[in-house]
Amino acid sequence: MARGKGEDGPHPVDRHVGRRVCEKRISLGYNQSDLGRALGLTFQQVQKYEKGTNRISASKLWDIARFFKVDVAYFFQGLGGAQPGMAEDGAAAFDHDFPATRHTIEIARLAPRLSARQQKLTLDLIREMADRPDSE
């Protein structure tokens, strides 16, 4: 069995940290090869880190944080016990187990600039599009 894999795949913490690395890398405009070169790794190793397939050692996470100019704690932000949002008593916790892409990151970055009405309209549009089979 590969390191970092349990019965259901990679450990949730490894997946979370890898996802944060991926999101930061994309938001800064780097590809996996760029990050790999900076760390002395192949892009395949970076890919495995980002998926959580391979665990990131403490020293390598330190190197990644220095390259991105963030604190190591950045990669653990949002990690904790599954808790509903503050105004959503008893609601399901936020699920962010979707692929991070340049598009999803940009949507998330731009959404707060919209008015509440525009955000609702955009959300309705995305929900409608997500429920429809792809017509292309």
| 56 and 42 Cβ atoms separated by less than 8 Å | no
- Tens digits of residue pLDDT in 24-73: 998 888 999 999 999 999 999 999 999 899 999 999 999 999 999 999 99
* Domain-embedded: residue 4: no
* pLDDT at residue number 9: 81
Domain assignment present for residue 24? The answer is: yes
Complete DSSP assignment for 94-117? P---S---HHHHHHHHHGGGS-HH
Query: 3-state DSSP call for residue 77?
Result: coil
The answer as to whether 63 is a domain residue is yes
Q: Is residue 123 part of a domain?
A: yes
pLDDT at residue 86 greater than cutoff 60? no
Q: What is the DSSP letter of 120?
A: H
Pair 16, 72 in one domain: yes
Q: Higher model confidence: residue 76 or residue 106? A: 76
Percentage of residues in the chain having pLDDT higher than 70: 78
Predicted pLDDT at 64: 97
Rounded to whole angstroms, the Cα distance separating 45 from 52 reads 11
Tell me the CA distances in angstroms from 99 to 6, 39, 46, 75, 119, one per residue in order.
20, 23, 15, 16, 21
Residue 122 shares a structural domain with residue 71: no
Give me 82's structure tokens: 């599954």
Average pLDDT, the chain: 81
> For residue 124, what are the domain limits?
102-131
Asked if the structure places residue 3 within a domain, the reply is: no
Checking if the pLDDT of 98 tops 90, the result is no
Number of domains in the chain: 2
The predicted model gives 124-130 an average pLDDT of 88
Q: Is 10 helix (H, G, I), strand (E, B) or coil?
A: strand
pLDDT at 131 over 90: no
42/12 Cα distance (integer angstroms): 24
